[in-house]
Amino acid sequence: MSRSTCHGPGVGTRRRSRPLARLMTLCAALGATLLTPADAGAAGSRNEDAYRDLGSVTRLDWMANIADDTSLAAMSLPGTHDTLAIHGGAAAQTQEDFGDSAKTLKAQLERGIRAIDIRVRVSGGEKFTIHHGVVYQKANFDDVLSEAQSFLGKHPSETVVMRLRAECPFSNPGAAECANDPKSVDQEKARKIFSEYVGNYRDLFYGPSASGQGSIAAPTLEKVRGKLVLGGFDGFGSDKYGINTFYKNEEDHFSPSTVQQKWDYVKENIDRAAGSTANEMFVTYTSASKTILRLPFEYAGGYRQVQGGVTTEVQGVNHRLMKYLNNGGGNGRLGIVMMDFPGWALRDNIISRNDPYLVKGGDRAIWTVNSNKTYSNTEYRNRCMVRGPEFDSSKSGGVVTQRACQSPAPGSHQWESRKPSYKEGKDYFWVTANNGKCLTVPYNNGTPPSAGTQLFWWDCETRWFSGSQLWNVVPTKVETPGGVKTGYKFINNWTGLCLSMDRATASASGGKVTQDVCPK
């Protein structure tokens, strides 16, 4: 006869089983310190580095330096299984509780999670509410979309991939399953409700994934920055949504007999993803539950087992995966990894697998010119040149600054290179803001100012040649892991210095755009 003691208070079960009251007192809050007492290292070593601790707000913009031409299928994305399951006790909770109304989602996104698993119930025949089985999670679908929209608006270099699941059966729900309201609602009606949400949040969704016109191949990051991508769409009776390979390479054994068996499934799929070069999605759920016999938090965080008077520590899947990655396992793309109670080090291990796709060869004096008329820096990715504050009420000029790029781009972020109005400048360009003003090197009493001088926007000089407003635009190659891209050096006619960014204020909103020595 054996018995188990638990590492922490409840999490949840994958399937729709009503939580039992006795589970609330089943486990003492022993914490996650029972496993691996070693000190945490940079990649994590303790159980709590992998389990139930996402840490402080960090990893807000970790996709910013990933090459635009990277396919989503080539990336490694940390995700959460049953993302908002925080209520219902041990049989329903799967994530750290950061608050209702999708505040838990907000916290996850701020801590680097980029794949989410949202389960919905039709409510009142016209809305979706968030459920894990029969347990309402005190959030609705509008909460989810509003939080995603807010986060992506502030961090437009990022993208979020969503699996959307109809949690309640559309016919004959069992006693332990949730029921839609009304029970007569069918899958077609549920799809119509979803389409209404897409229409209400048109700027949020990556349209091709959510249009219902057909599933799509995995898009490149450039196409989906600042967007919510519908990856999976299950239980709605249609295969015309989402990414067409989302379920092709999936590990989701939700009720294995042991933690070891679940880990074997996880490791097998992780290794398959790392060894594949196909442009296909891989999705691995590290989560599992065997009702009251083995609870989700035990699969994720491990447990202490006493058998024949001998106590053994059974490591959870999260810790096993962290150690495996630390030791060089999964040496390649991992795909999407959906976890219960992820820890900060496990998250960081997954994110680090994207290093081969980081932009290389960028320089603060080389810029990319984008289709939305923004100029973004190649060294400080996701920083765009901005028409900054005016000098005075005359609005004749002001300073040029930089901020995080936004989607859609505000007018103050938009610039255009065009020929000047006088023939002497025919080999050069004006760089004009959306208000028609010219990018200008300060006059400095007629003495060319030094490197590091902040630039202005000013009335374009149309009467005569003005070298302080003329720029030689020189294309140059910028290497990325996905290939060579074109960037541009903007060399001022008067000073011979290049359009650049001030290093000291590079991460600040409103940091300086300057002139500096041109790269070779």
Q: For 370, how many CA atoms within 13 A lie in the half-sphere containing its CB?
A: 22
Nearest Cα residue to 336 out of 287, 281, 265, 279 = 281
Q: What is the pLDDT of residues 170-214, one digit of tens each?
A: 999 988 899 999 999 999 999 999 999 999 999 999 999 999 999
Answer yes or no: is 32 within a domain: yes
Tell me which of 330, 357, 384 is where a domain ends: 357
**pLDDT for residue 483 is more than 80:** no
φ/ψ of 304, rounded to 5, equals -105, 130
Question: Could you tell me if 325 and 383 lie in one domain?
Answer: no
Q: In 111-206, which residue ranges form alpha helices assigned H by DSSP?
A: 141-154, 187-200
Residues in the chain: 520
Give the per-residue pLDDT at 407. Answer: 86
Residue 401 domain boundaries: 367-516
Which residue did the predictor score with more confidence, 481 or 234? 234
**pLDDT for residue 33 is more than 50:** no
Average pLDDT over residues 263-268: 98
Distant-in-sequence contacts of 260-269, Cβ < 8 A, 24+ apart: 262/286, 262/288, 262/299, 262/317, 263/317, 263/320, 263/321, 266/317, 266/320, 266/321, 267/320, 267/321, 267/324, 267/329
Give the per-residue pLDDT at 36. Answer: 28
Question: Could you tell me if 252 and 372 lie in one domain?
Answer: no
pLDDT band at 27 (very low <50, low <70, confident <90, very high): very low
R_g over Cα of the chain: 27
Question: Could you tell me if 139 and 285 lie in one domain?
Answer: yes
CB 30 within 8 A of CB 5: yes
Question: Could you tell me if 351 and 462 lie in one domain?
Answer: no
Give the per-residue pLDDT at 423. Answer: 76
Question: Could you tell me if 308 and 382 lie in one domain?
Answer: no
Q: What is the pLDDT of residues 89-99, one digit of tens each?
A: 988 899 999 99
CA 278, 283, 287 angle in degrees (round to 5)?
155
Q: What is the pLDDT of residues 361-403, one digit of tens each?
A: 889 999 999 999 999 999 988 899 999 999 999 888 999 999 9
Q: What percent of the chain has pLDDT over 90?
A: 79
Answer yes or no: is 244 within a domain: yes
Average pLDDT over residues 488-499: 97
Tokens matching residue 464: 């005569």
| Rounded-to-10 torsion of CA 99, 102, 104, 108 | -160
Q: What is the pLDDT of residues 145-171, one digit of tens each?
A: 999 999 999 999 999 999 999 999 999
CB 268 within 8 A of CB 282: no
Average pLDDT over residues 455-467: 91
Question: Could you tell me if 410 and 330 lie in one domain?
Answer: no
pLDDT band at 465 (very low <50, low <70, confident <90, very high): confident
Question: Could you tell me if 378 and 339 lie in one domain?
Answer: no
**pLDDT for residue 81 is more than 70:** yes
pLDDT band at 128 (very low <50, low <70, confident <90, very high): very high
Give the per-residue pLDDT at 32. Answer: 30
Most distant pair of Cα atoms in the chain: their distance:
95
